[in-house]
Amino acid sequence: MKYLGNKTRLEEFLVGVLTLPQRRNQHALDLFAGTGSVSLLFKKYGLNTTSNDFLRFAATRVNAILRDTPPPPNLDLESATWDGFITNNYSELAGVNIFRTAVANHIDGARSLLPAHPTTADEIYYLAQVIEAADFRSNIMGSYESFYKQGWRKQCDKVWELPSFDLINNYGQTSHQVHDTDARVFLEESDEYYDFIYLDPPYNNRQYSSVFHVLETIALGDNPTTAGRVNKREITDDMKSKFSMKRNCVEEMDSLLSLCAKRTGEVFMSYSSEGIVSIENLHKLFTKYFATVTIHQVDYRRFKTNSHKPTPATVKEVLIHGIK
């Protein structure tokens, strides 16, 4: 999945710094789970995981990939077509070249066969497949706030089919829970104590609810009010992350770490050397709540969208480790 900040390429770095081979049977909280690559890594090493992400499409995917085994194939979801909301707002038919019309028809058709709010594990898995298939065939470079202007990318013309996820079968030996709520609200309402908490908050001013608005609409199965040249769904204030706002992010980080310190004795935070909050300021915030603070760094290839601005090829991925 084309997702900003995906940690798949940092697996070796994370395994080493988080000492995952020594943490079997521990309970970890992945508070900003995104597409679930870190949660899946925790499962691979035999950890019990609670995952959370504010966006519904992300939480849906995490739920799907943490299963032990897949459900039976749903052929109806591959064959159904409908001229619905996605077709009429995000296809060439609408003049918004995010999806080919045939692909958009399949997205609408598959979504129409699933409940507006899937509740069973199988329904959630199928919805995740639809979201994954849609994202793979999208005509974007990483953000749904625009589309590729130089025609159609090759994958846009791929025949519609639902993908398989690479699941890890732990035969019921590990447990997982997935939530989709605001990170701070989750911690305030939680009564659980975790062996450690992993944090991967937004680090720049891009709002994920806006960047991935099309996938969120597919996940929610609604018909939102839209505006602008790409028919972006309305992004209300409660859908915006304060971690992506320069005027709010330091206070929000402080509050987050304070809440984490009540729920664990050990916190890891992934961040970027180009983040809104400097690494020096993050270190200071950590020392307010944790006795030992260690900073690990690794070079990381920059995620490129369709920007033509000259930028360095790599940035520093930073992992801050706090222990009470």
DSSP codes joined into one string, 164-189: PP-----TTSS-EEEE-S-HHHHHHH
pLDDT digits (tens, 9 = 90+) for 165-183: 999 999 999 999 999 999 9
pLDDT digits (tens, 9 = 90+) for 21-37: 999 999 999 999 999 99
Per DSSP, the three-state class of 149 is coil
Q: What percent of the chain has pLDDT over 70?
A: 94
Q: Which of 277, 270, 252 is nearest to 322 (CA)?
A: 270
Domain annotation for the chain: domains and CATH numbers: 1-59+172-202+245-324 (3.40.50.150), 71-164+207-240 (no CATH)
For the chain, what is the mean pLDDT? 93
**CB-side neighbour CA atoms (13 Å) of 68:** 10
Structure tokens at 114: 């699933």
Q: Which of 228, 225, 235, 6 is nearest to 98 (CA)?
A: 228
How wide is the angle at C-alpha 208 spanned by C-alphas 213 and 293, nearest 5°?
A: 165
Q: Which of 177, 193, 166, 153 is nearest to 52 (CA)?
A: 177
pLDDT band at 3, cuts 50/70/90?
A: low
pLDDT score at 73: 95
> What digits encode the pLDDT tens for the residues 24-70?
999 999 999 999 999 999 999 999 999 999 999 999 999 999 999 99
